[in-house]
Amino acid sequence: MTQPFTGEIRIFPYNFAPRGWADCNGQLLPIAQNTALFSLFGTTYGGDGRTTMGVPSLQGRAAMKEGRGPGLTPRRLGEKDGDTTVTLSTSNMAQHTHAVVADNAVTNLSRTPDNHYPANPGGRSSNLYGTTTAATPFKNLANTGGGQAHPNEQPYLVMRYCVALVGVYPPRS
């Protein structure tokens, strides 16, 4: 493996951070022992800027580029965004209805439900289905739900993000 740039972030499949690397878990590090890294990160990821500095936290997060794009919200370096759960409300959903339709005619009845609607049997046996295409809505279903949040995470594979504490100081272009 080549010498990393100081502050470079890589993904490792190990259950430990290699020598010279630190987990990207938002931990605070002493500036006195990480002056090169502090000159690159400053307090972007936390710390008081006098004795401590923070490393990025990529726990349960996806890395993304700072900046803006057409139709996108501007993002700052080090900004945390997103939610792991979201509660849906009717204002989050497109306007729609759930109507139960039935065939109100008493003719053209069938005993099989395939491609038919429930029918008004006109006093005859139930389990009859209408074959007409003139089915009419007779009941709109009410809103349901308990307002509970649902998971809102993209699929993931657990890996270890680490930041290089030492390495080649990256040249500015």
How many angstroms separate the CA atoms of 130 and 108, rounded?
6
- The kind and range of the H/E element at 39 are helix 35-41
Q: CA–CA separation, 150 vs 92, rounded Å?
A: 13
On whether the CB atoms of residues 160 and 13 are closer than 8 A, the answer is yes
Mean pLDDT in residue range 9-22: 95
Task: Name the DSSP class of 155.
Answer: -
pTM above 0.85, yes or no: no
- Encode pLDDT of 108-156 as tens digits: 666 666 666 666 666 555 556 666 555 556 565 666 667 788 888 888 8
Q: How confident is the model at residue 44 (pLDDT cuts 50, 70, 90)?
A: very high
Q: What is the DSSP letter of 111?
A: S
Backbone conformation region of residue 26, classed left if phi is above 0, alpha if psi is from -120 to 50, else beta: left
Sorting pLDDT into bands at 50, 70 and 90, what band is 102? low
- What pLDDT was estimated at residue 157? 84
pLDDT band at 3 (very low <50, low <70, confident <90, very high): very high
Q: Looking at residue 88, what is its pLDDT?
A: 80
The angle at the Cα of 151, spanning 16 to 86, to the nearest 5 degrees, equals: 120
- Mean pLDDT to the nearest integer, 54-75: 89
pLDDT confidence tier of residue 162, bands split at 50, 70 and 90: very high
